[in-house]
């Protein structure tokens, strides 16, 4: 039976983000080391020189710096990268500070000095190291950036179930600043607004259907038109809005615009073609009406309504 760790890693590897699988594994592997000593976090042996520490930090930053992935969809990996980069920075600062006061290596054997030889042991080498590390952990740039990324991640989890909540979280993340979080947050905000608009459009569709069942043309026309405004991709909303606007006596130009939208979104929907043809006939646009009626008859040669309307075309 797979362990909780295995299941968590499998879920992370299955996440749909803009990263190849080998980079996902690299990030997850580095994240698993964050609780280890500074040497291990940087991927170097205890007792390495200050230059080696610096080189290891720069090499790791090339892979794990969050700004390297600017504009990409990273999902939960955004927070992972923020945590990894913060820990790498802490390790680099702590070891660099400690190595500044490191005594020369004894003898001429070329071995590293004993002062920093024990893995994970920097305590006692320089009393300023712990203070420096704690100060870095509270650095406003790192903490604010991590908070903003965390809010963006949380917003992403609420996108489909609670778009209002997602928008609230994204507004908070935006106020914290940070180019990467703002870029991703902006993309998610657009998606959340679309989700919210789609929900409201569905509510308007229900209102329109209820009004239509009561033959309340005015209310039905208003509700369906509102639904089409909220979600311009809904062909059914545009179609219902067009026919109920016509029944309610609204300007035919408004009804025609919505009928045309319905046909553009779904050309094979015969009722939309028929409504558009009927509106065009009422507006004296016979040639346009004929074109739509012929399109209907091409799909359904026996369509009685299309034949009836075609006889009215002059």
Q: What number of other Cβ atoms are within 10 A of residue 16's Cβ? A: 7
Please report, for the chain, the start and end positions of each structural domain, with discontinuous segments joined by +.
Answer: 4-100+128-193, 215-310
- End-to-end C-alpha distance for the chain, whole angstroms: 76
Do you know the residue count of the chain? 314
Provide the whole-model pTM: 0.52
| Residue partners of 292: CB distance under 8 A and separation at least 6 | 263, 273, 274, 276, 277, 280
- Please give the chain's pLDDT, 314 residues, in tens: 555 566 677 788 888 888 999 999 999 999 999 999 999 999 999 888 888 998 998 889 889 988 788 778 888 888 899 899 889 988 998 888 888 765 434 433 333 333 444 444 444 444 455 555 555 545 444 456 667 777 777 887 887 788 888 888 888 877 776 665 667 778 888 888 888 889 899 999 999 999 999 999 999 999 999 999 999 999 999 999 999 999 999 999 999 999 999 999 999 999 999 999 999 999 999 999 999 999 999 999 999 999 999 999 86
| Residue partners of 146: CB distance under 8 A and separation at least 6 | 79, 82, 83, 86
Q: What number of other Cβ atoms are within 10 A of residue 252's Cβ? A: 19
| Four-way CATH pick for 215-310: 1.10.10.1100, 3.90.105.10, 1.25.40.10, 3.40.50.720 | 1.25.40.10
């Amino acid at each position: 039976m797979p362990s909780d760790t295995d299941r968590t890693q499998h879920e992370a590897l299955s996440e749909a983000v803009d990263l190849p699988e080998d980079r996902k594994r690299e990030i997850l592997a580095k994240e698993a080391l964050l609780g280890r000593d500074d040497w291990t976090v940087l991927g170097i042996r205890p007792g390495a020189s200050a230059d080696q520490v610096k080189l290891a930090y720069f090499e790791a930053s090339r892979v794990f710096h969050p700004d390297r992935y600017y504009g990409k969809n990273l999902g939960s990996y955004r927070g992972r990268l923020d945590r990894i980069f913060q820990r790498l920075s802490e390790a680099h600062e702590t070891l660099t500070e400690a190595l500044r006061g490191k005594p020369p290596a004894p003898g001429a054997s070329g071995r590293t000095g004993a002062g920093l030889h024990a893995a994970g042991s920097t305590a006692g080498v320089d009393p300023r190291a712990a203070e420096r590390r704690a100060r870095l952990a509270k650095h406003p740039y790192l903490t604010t950036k991590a908070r903003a990324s965390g809010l963006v991640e949380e917003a992403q989890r609420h996108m489909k179930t609670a778009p209002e909540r997602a928008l609230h979280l994204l507004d908070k993340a935006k106020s914290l600043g940070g180019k990467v979080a703002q870029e991703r947050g902006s993309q998610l905000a657009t998606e959340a607004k679309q989700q919210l608009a789609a929900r409201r459009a569905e509510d308007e569709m229900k209102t329109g259907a209820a009004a239509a069942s009561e033959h309340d043309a005015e209310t039905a026309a208003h509700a369906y038109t509102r639904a089409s405004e909220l979600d311009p991709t809904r062909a059914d909303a545009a179609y219902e809005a067009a026919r109920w606007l016509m029944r309610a006596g609204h300007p035919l130009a408004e009804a025609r615009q919505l009928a045309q939208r319905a046909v553009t979104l779904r050309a094979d929907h015969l009722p939309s073609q028929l409504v558009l043809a009927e509106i065009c006939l009422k507006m004296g646009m016979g040639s346009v009406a004929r074109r739509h009626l012929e399109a209907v008859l091409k799909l359904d040669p026996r369509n009685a309504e299309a034949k009836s309307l075609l006889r009215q075309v002059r």
